[in-house]
Amino acid sequence: MKKLYEKFNNLFKFTQKEYEASINALNIFFGAVIGISLGSIGDIATKDYILLLIITSTAVTSILFVTYSDRRYWSIFVLGLILIGMWKMDHSSDPIVGLPPKLLPTLGVWALLAITTEFADIVRDDPSDKDQ
């Protein structure tokens, strides 16, 4: 009975390949969405565009650190600080640079899904289960 329970329970866990595919899919999809978001900013000053690229790439890098670093909790903490800093910067009375309206929600959802995927259960691949 225990073996049947374990087999059934393992159906709801990622295999290593499924985990890697999930992370890759998130990165590709949200990278494209951010590209669309940045493409909608119109004509802004070069200085503002460079600042926007630096800020966005810092957030994207911190999201990737969550999924690739062995220091998950530290990476999540730093990611939280960066996203809070971006939100505060965007909602200040005199922002350094205005963020595109959909950028911060996109980064937030990506971060949440990356963290959720990172903490999902992963089961070791069992060669006898290849037909499932």
Question: What global pTM score does this model have?
Answer: 0.79
Cα distances from 82 to residues 30, 64, 85, 104, in angstroms, run: 17, 13, 5, 11
What's the rounded Cα separation, in Å, for the pair 13 and 28?
A: 22
CB 34 within 8 A of CB 53: no
For the stretch 4-48, pLDDT in tens is 766 666 667 888 898 889 999 999 999 999 988 888 887 888 898
Longest dimension (CA), the chain: 66
Strongest mean pLDDT among 41-50, 67-76, 96-105: 67-76
The domain ranges of the chain are 16-122
Residues 6+ apart with CB under 8 A from 79: 59, 62, 63, 65, 66, 111
pLDDT of the residue at 24: 93
